[in-house]
Chain A
């Protein structure tokens, strides 16, 4: 349970940052959404961490959360490369 919980808490944080960051870039034309999006970090983090327990194996949960993070950061890097910023 300790390894499981470490995966849930630690790996869901970068995944949350990646998802919220991507949303901020995707809605860069709507500055009113910036602060509310940042305030949603905590519930999204808790939601992702809790949902990761639904994946039967710790390794798969870790792989999925890492995958979400990497895909999110890659998309952010691509958008920044294309000149998008929040």
Chain B
């Protein structure tokens, strides 16, 4: 490859990395945790009373009571049947408010009546939202992350093209030593190249999920005569509901609906029943669930008439079209809905490695522009070093703070708000702190803060739910034990990073943004002696 081409793509890689790196850091750090979404929900709800497992008859009574007491729910009502890990039957619908947002309504059976209390656990959902919005307002953040995926894709292509000429020389080269830039570059390359297929899949599937609708819209006008929903809906298991007939009719019992679904998709473990126009003669219900098949995607959907039980549509992974297999496979790869815990742990590690990739990319930019012969460093490198520290370390500290707030304030009705407040308070505070302090002092302070907040997670489990780590181990409460053990390991890692930053500031290269600032210099001015030692 010609040198000028490599140089062009190095420039592209640099600027696309800078443009997308920090949003992607948040997406990957939060995403690594979202891999264990269900386990986080269990950790978060630990203090709540565990209900007895609900039956299908209970589910039917729940549906009947909800429709009786809240007829507005009939248009689009969801039933989450009792399952291991979710022992209660839960009915849910979303009310569109005047402001255009949706208000969630949850119902559970309580004796002969309905319990309308919302589960105030919010941590897992909030971290998931951080994953796909990076903390920006929901829809806007989703679209921004979609554009970031395009930039991410270009960064992957350009990074690979830059790396290709030295592929065999540099692939497993890790050269620690005095040349910090070389070391950061080697680790960046190793992580980037070895996890490249996974990153390609993530850029692709994330773009489809975030801005896929914008990909499709032009084709409706350009090439297709039929409605796209009609063209692809049934293929993807999204059969359109029928128009209401205006005549009431009783619903087929839940147990019977599940029996019919099992006949159409043998072995289906229903996770959701989605009713449309329940109570009307044209009511439909789509039963979503997983089937025991040896395919990447295991999700099936069976759409029935909710009043006659007639089968309207079946989407099954073994009978899916090439397009549905392609789409569902991409989504299954994104959400790691295959491979059990082994795949989840692999994704967790790759997620953290991805976050490191973006962090180290920004560090490389700073290191490449370092003035090696003078203490004063360019303003843009100081700015990026501060921003990178504030955003990345602030995000990690903020997430730890959200864990603490969710645990400590579990009895508060506004727990969800406090959980978000804790994250954004710490995140924005960290960002501000990184610009108030010198680069090394800001990074050191924030890493110590991060270590302290993270170390408090197991302490809060011991204090607020009486589950010290040894008890969760002895009682095999793995969700609590693993969170606590990982928190301790992460706290130690953050502490060691803080110590390393401090050591480098005191005794490392002085002509650097990471050097301890001297009196009289707000940034990096070293002593005269140090300057002589490092001409």
Residue ranges of A at the interface with B (Cβ–Cβ < 8 Å): 1, 5, 8-9, 17, 20-21, 24-25, 32-36, 38-39, 41-43, 45-47, 49-50, 53-54, 73, 76, 80, 85-86
In the complex, whether B326 has a CB less than 8 A from a CB of chain A is yes
Across the interface, which residues of A come within 8 angstroms of B231, CB to CB?
34
| Interface residues of B, count at CB 8 A | 39
* Contacts A32-B322, A34-B231, A42-B208 given; does A21 touch B223 at CB 8 Å: yes
Complex contacts, A42 vs chain B, CB 8 Å: 149-150, 153, 203-204, 207-208, 215
Q: How many angstroms from the CA of A50 to the CA of B204 in the assembled complex?
A: 15
Q: Contact at A21–B150, with CB atoms within 8 Å? A: no
- Docked Cα-Cα span, A84 to B208, in Å, equals 27
A-B contact pairs, 28 of them (CB 8 A): A1-B11, A1-B12, A5-B15, A5-B16, A5-B19, A17-B218, A17-B219, A17-B222, A20-B219, A24-B223, A25-B223, A34-B231, A34-B232, A35-B235, A35-B326, A35-B327, A38-B216, A39-B208, A39-B330, A42-B149, A42-B153, A45-B150, A46-B153, A46-B157, A49-B153, A76-B223, A85-B223, A86-B219
| A85–B322 touching, CB < 8 Å | no
B149 neighbours in A (Cβ, 8 Å): 42
* B330 / chain A contacts, CB cutoff of 8 Å: 39
CB within 8 Å of A: which residues of B?
A: 5, 8-9, 11-12, 15-16, 19, 147, 149-151, 153-154, 157-158, 161, 203-204, 207-208, 215-216, 218-219, 222-225, 231-232, 235, 321-324, 326-327, 330
* Residues of chain B within 8 A of A21, CB atoms compared: 218-219, 222-223
Contact in complex: A54, B8 (CB < 8 Å): yes
- Residue in contact with A85 in the complex, picked from B9, B150, B216, B224, CB distance below 8 Å: B224
Query: A36 vs B76: C-alpha distance in the bound complex, in angstroms?
Result: 30
Instruction: Find out whether the CB atom of B12 lies under 8 angstroms from the CB atom of A53.
Output: yes
Closest to A17 in B: B218
A21 to B223: give the CA distance in the assembly, Å: 6
List B contacts of A25 (CB < 8 A): 223
- Is A34 in contact with B154, judged by CB distance below 8 angstroms? no
Q: Is the CB of A35 within 8 A of B15?
A: no
- B150 near A53 with CB under 8 A, answer no
* A53 and B9 within 8 A (CB): yes
**In the complex, A76 Cα to B203 Cα: how many Å?**
29
CB distance from B24 to the nearest CB of A (A): 15
CB-contact partner of A50 in B157, B218, B326, under 8 A = B157
- Residues of A near B327 (CB, < 8 A) are 35, 39
CA of A54 to CA of B154, assembled, Å? 13
The 6 closest A-B pairs by CB, nearest first: A35-B323, A46-B153, A50-B157, A86-B223, A41-B215, A42-B207
When the two chains form the complex, which single residue of B16, B153, B224 contacts A86, counting CB atoms closer than 8 Å? Answer: B224
Residues of B with C-beta under 8 A to A76 = 222-223
A5 to B16, CA, bound (A): 9
